[in-house]
Amino acid sequence: MTAQDADIRTFIAIELPDEVKEFLRSLSSRLKRTAADVKWTRIEGIHLTLKFLGNISPDLLPALGNEVGLAFSGQKPLKMHVNGVGAFPSLAKARVIWAGLEDSAGELAPLARRVEDLLMPLGFTREKRPFAPHLTLGRTRSNKGLADLVEEVRQNMDVSGPYFVADQAVLFQSILKPTGAEYHPLVRFPFSEE
């Protein structure tokens, strides 16, 4: 197998505009003041994941592009905003710190289901958990400072960020590096309202 034939790590996501990233940078700065043991996400790389695909063969890209494109055909642009902060699996057992994302028309979850449905014939399994639109801010590494972090999350649970309009999704390649993951767009899927 040559390097060209090697599988690539991929996911489908919606990019965020700069004003949303700046809002998340400010929010993340408040959370970081707790000095909790957290691996914080690089703000530049934050996105809304619709479907993580994992490692795939580059040969699958054309079929994948066709099927995923169908999911966005007829999709009107989505008006969204950051809404709330929380933790998975719960505040008491915080492992992932996130900012919530809400769309005005309630179309994100059906869109994610449509993507899942169209990918099943290509061998991708359906997520077991229901789609919960969120932006990962960080992942805890230990319990050090966790009580302070949870309290800061509680104080910011009702935070609300700027509205924005998403009019495309992107198939990204994720390249894992010691400095953090780098994301490279492979295919863009403009929403094409019919």
pLDDT at 1 over 50: no
What pLDDT, in 10s, does the model give residues 7-38?
A: 999 999 999 999 999 999 999 999 999 989 99
What CA–CA distance (Å, rounded) separates 185 from 163?
Answer: 24
Q: Return mean pLDDT, the chain.
A: 92
What pLDDT, in 10s, does the model give residues 68-89?
A: 999 998 899 999 999 999 999 9
CATH fold label, 7-188: Cyclic Phosphodiesterase; Chain: A, (3.90.1140)
Determine whether 6 is exposed, middle or buried from the number of CB atoms within 10 Å of its CB (0-12, 13-18, 19+): exposed
What CA–CA distance (Å, rounded) separates 122 from 138?
Answer: 31
- Delimit the domains of the chain by residue range: 7-188
Give pLDDT, residue 19: 97
CA nearest neighbour of 88 among 102, 76, 101, 99: 99
**Orientation angle between helical segments 18-32 and 146-155, nearest 10 degrees:** 130
Reported confidence tier of residue 194, pLDDT bands at 50, 70, 90: low
CA nearest neighbour of 119 among 166, 70, 77: 70
pLDDT at 3 over 50: no
Give pLDDT, residue 181: 84
Predicted model pTM: 0.90
Q: Which strands form 8-14's sheet, in the order they lie side by side?
A: 48-56, 8-14, 168-175, 182-190
